[in-house]
Chains A and B, each alone.
Chain A
């Protein structure tokens, strides 16, 4: 007996493939627009030139859990910044570390008693969001700046982050993170490409076009009154930074990106760590998407184009499972002897799929970023980014499944994964 697949099934598969193709084309066009804007458009750095002013009161919070290897450098650098000492304090919080973190923090506090305050948490909910929530509720500063314990800021960074807050409409500020352990292995080199595309082009273009740059939770600051007005830090989300970006936008505040505000960070050096990181991001981002998609579509506080982009930004971590679904449907069509797509449409599908490389940094976006960075030879690694793409595709899809089945249906409790540190001597270049 000859097997003939029912028509509705074939049509259904084709609809899925075409829908995914259209979606991928939309995202590719979005990134194309970002790239051309970053290359040729008017670059917005309105607050960069503020170098002298009556600076606001700033508190830098450094949450730390088992960070003995790196935290001394961060705290020493934060104590040595160019900011009026009477308007500045650093609060380092040891969140139940089991290593020497607390002892290292005490030694730092002895060296910088005028600016550094140290706290130790032994109870309550663990995790960065819980630390931030607890600390920010007790502060009377104007601005809260968050640094991870492995970030070593330059002397002028605090002023650069604080400057945009002279604009009463700004709720949060985000700077650029630059990986410092790029030379470690292939993974760190591929993540370096991805970060370059994401910050140098994506974030700056969104800043230029007055869209929604994303607050990333580190190398950035939040206006405390704005934070309180939108309900403070949430401890029931995986991506409290993305969640805050959207809550601020919906309340009428703006987030700005400062491309000149650079700080080194450490990127994962092993694939398993990268998987945990991207799964956490994907889960958190999709959680935010579920919570804020409706209100983002309805909000009248921003223009139609900005709203569309905010919606597309919410959807970036849904693309991986959709792309995988598109591939699967296309493959089933092939196996059933059906034409998948017309020749040129299939080539377009392949190309736009490649545009979603890694963490959605399109190949031309990475090329533009590295041209602007003046560092071109590393671009040759671009085809190897396929490996990053593959690993991200699978793990983001896993994260979506996990969010749906474990967190939503089975009501599993949130669990924080701490990012591993690789620096032995604690010092970036």
Chain B
């Protein structure tokens, strides 16, 4: 009897909610919402526990990978630098060893600062004159970068001793922020990705790919910082900090997140 009732119910559900082609008849987008199923709660829980368990085990491997990448490229690029190891506490008792390239970066002299001002003025003029219409956002970006650079020049000109960052501390901070961001990924996805109607496997793959993406970008990003600051001096550090530091890592996260949530369920 129960079996008969069950099959009759299934048949009725099919008749009510399936079209002739067998597709589910969806409510209009204005009225549509997601069903809160057991998975809506279980998936975030499983993935949070799983991701953080895995991260606790592999975070050391991530910093080891970064150290290996730094070592590999410092040798190939014949840079006069060794690797310095720093231990950084992330969240309370959680501490990780970060390997930082130890390289000299010089304070700018007056001529360099003058050159910076001239280049910024030229770029701002160029952006003002040419970057209109479709190029306007790039013009804004260039203006923003130039203003950041001019502020830095001001500090290096009038109070260079106030700027106490070294290349090593800059890289160490950047790596720490990136690692914190990787730790934040499952938490961010718990309400922004795991709630959607994807299978657990897709959600797990999405999480892994987003974290892997950030992990792979970071050493190249900060090696680029090392190369640029080593060649151009500390005067370039602030603009890299603002435009190509943590905000860039977050943009990478958003880009990979956007890709993952665009998948079909």
Contact = CB atoms under 8 A, between A and B. Distances in A.
B21 interface: no
B244 interface: no
A319 B55 CA distance: 35
Contacts of B144: 390
Contact of B30 (A32, A185, A262, A380): A262
Given A331-B151, A382-B258, A394-B140, A259 B30 contact: yes
A233 interface: no
B177 to A, nearest CB: 6
Given A3-B161, A270-B133, A390-B140, A351 B184 contact: yes
B60 interface: no
A183 interface: no
B31 A43 contact: yes
B34 A39 contact: yes
A41 interface: yes
B33 A43 contact: yes
Nearest to B144: A390
B40 A40 contact: yes
Given A3-B158, A336-B155, A390-B141, A346 B177 contact: yes
A37 to B, nearest CB: 10
A147 B234 CA distance: 57
Interface in B127-181: 132-134, 136-138, 140-141, 144, 148, 151-152, 155, 158-159, 161-165, 173, 176-177, 180-181
Interface string A326-347: 0000011011110000011011
A335 B151 contact: yes
Contacts, number: 159
A38 B32 CA distance: 9
A47 interface: no
B242 A331 contact: yes
Interface in A307-356: 331-332, 334-337, 343-344, 346-348, 350-351, 353-354
Interface in A363-415: 363-364, 367-368, 371-374, 376-383, 386-388, 390-391, 394
A394 B31 CA distance: 36
Interface in B215-239: 238
Given A260-B28, A363-B254, A381-B258, A347 B246 contact: yes
B177 A383 contact: no
Contacts of B137: 271, 387-388, 390-391
Contacts of B155: 335-336
Given A336-B155, A343-B180, A347-B180, A382 B238 contact: no
Given A32-B191, A344-B90, A350-B247, A380 B31 contact: no
A272 interface: yes
Given A371-B261, A376-B263, A382-B254, A343 B90 contact: yes
A176 interface: yes
Contact of B241 (A39, A262, A270, A334): A334
Nearest to B173: A343
Nearest to B137: A387
A122 interface: no
Interface in A8-49: 32, 35-36, 38-41, 43, 45, 48
A73 interface: no
A186 B138 CA distance: 13
Contacts of A200: 29-30
A40 B188 contact: no
B7 interface: no
Contacts of B90: 343-344
B33 A39 contact: yes
Interface size band for A: 35 or more
Nearest to A391: B137
B253 to A, nearest CB: 8
Given A5-B162, A335-B238, A391 B136 contact: yes
Nearest to A385: B254
A425 interface: no
Contacts of B159: 3, 336
Nearest to B161: A2
A10 to B, nearest CB: 11
Contacts of A36: 191, 195
Given A32-B191, A262-B30, A335-B163, A347 B251 contact: no
A353 to B, nearest CB: 8
Interface in B26-49: 26, 28-34, 36, 40
Given A36-B195, A343-B180, A260 B161 contact: no
Contacts of A387: 137-138, 141
Nearest to B255: A383
Interface of A: 2-5, 32, 35-36, 38-41, 43, 45, 48, 176, 185-187, 200, 204, 259-260, 262, 270-272, 275, 331-332, 334-337, 343-344, 346-348, 350-351, 353-354, 363-364, 367-368, 371-374, 376-383, 386-388, 390-391, 394
Which 5 pairs across A and B sit closest by C-beta, in order of nearness?
A3-B159, A337-B164, A364-B192, A382-B258, A387-B137
16 contacts: A3-B162, A39-B33, A176-B30, A335-B238, A344-B91, A344-B184, A350-B247, A353-B247, A354-B250, A354-B254, A363-B254, A372-B33, A374-B29, A381-B258, A383-B258, A390-B140
Given A39-B34, A344-B91, 13 more contacts: A2-B161, A40-B36, A259-B31, A260-B30, A260-B31, A350-B246, A351-B250, A367-B192, A367-B258, A373-B29, A380-B258, A386-B251, A388-B137
